[in-house]
Structure 1
Amino acid sequence: MRTLCSSTLIGEFLVIGFAGLVAMKDPDLSTSTVWTVSGIAMFLSLLLCGMVTRPGGVVLGWALQIALIASGFVVPTMFFMGAVFAALWWASVHYGRKIDEAKARFAEQAGSSTPDAA
């Protein structure tokens, strides 16, 4: 699960950075505000890469997805991109858990098929 979720979060890191560039064009927003918010979101996406398998990591990932969708109020394209990344996040968590379960079953079978050394 960690690999899939981390890949999604790295993609989000890049998208958040590009959205920050687009948001800078808005005359109502100061550059410092845009980069403070974008920087915090980018930092959180990187931080979450290491927290995915820890308790609460997936929940924090969902909070980031909601924030990404909500950023569409500033950069309208982010409604679409946020929805795409929320779907990718769901798939990463869902299929990542299935892969982890399959790996655990395989390791268990491989461990039980070796003869005991007596």
Structure 2
Amino acid sequence: MRTLCSSTLIGEVFVVLFAACVAMQMTHVSAGVIWSVSGAAMLLCVLLCGVITRPGAVAVGWALQLGLIASGVLLPTMYGLGVIFAGLWWCSVHYGRKIDVIKAERERQAAAA
């Protein structure tokens, strides 16, 4: 799960970075506010990569997805990108957990042999 979720989160870092650049040009929100919020979101994405297997980390990831969708208030394109990344996040969590179960089973079989 760690690899899939981390890949999605790193992709989000770039989306947030580019969205911040666009928001500076297309909205009347101050650059300081845009970079404060975007910087916090990017930092959260990177930090979440390191703790994704800990309890509550997936829930924080979901909150991050909701925040990305909510950023569509400033940039309507972010509604679509937010939904896409929420779908990627679901796939990363869902299939990542399945992969973890398969790996654990294979390790158990290898230890038994």
Q: With structure 2 as the length reference, what TM-score do the two structures score?
A: 0.98
Question: Are the aligned partners of 2:27 and 2:74 in contact in 1 as well (CA < 8 Å)?
Answer: no
Which structure carries more helix by proportion? 2
- Give the secondary-structure state (helix, strand or coil) at the position aligned to 1:5: helix
Structure number with bigger Rg: 1
Instruction: Confirm or deny that 1:106 pairs with 2:110.
Output: no
Match of 2:92 in 1: 92
Shift of 1:26: 3.0
Q: 1:105 to 1:27 in 2, by over 3 A?
A: closer
- Give the secondary-structure state (helix, strand or coil) at the position aligned to 1:42: helix
Amino acid at match of 1:26: M
Match of 1:22 in 2: 22
**23-32 or 86-95, which deviates more:** 23-32
Stretches of structure 1 lacking an aligned partner (at least 5 in a row): 114-118
Percent identity over the alignment? Answer: 59
- Cα distance in 2 for residues equivalent to 1:75 and 1:27: 8
Counting only pairs closer than 5 Å after superposition, residues 51-90 of structure 1 correspond to structure 2 as 51-90=51-90
Amino acid at match of 1:2: R
Match of 1:2 in 2: 2
Question: Are the aligned partners of 2:48 and 2:57 in contact in 1 as well (CA < 8 Å)?
Answer: yes
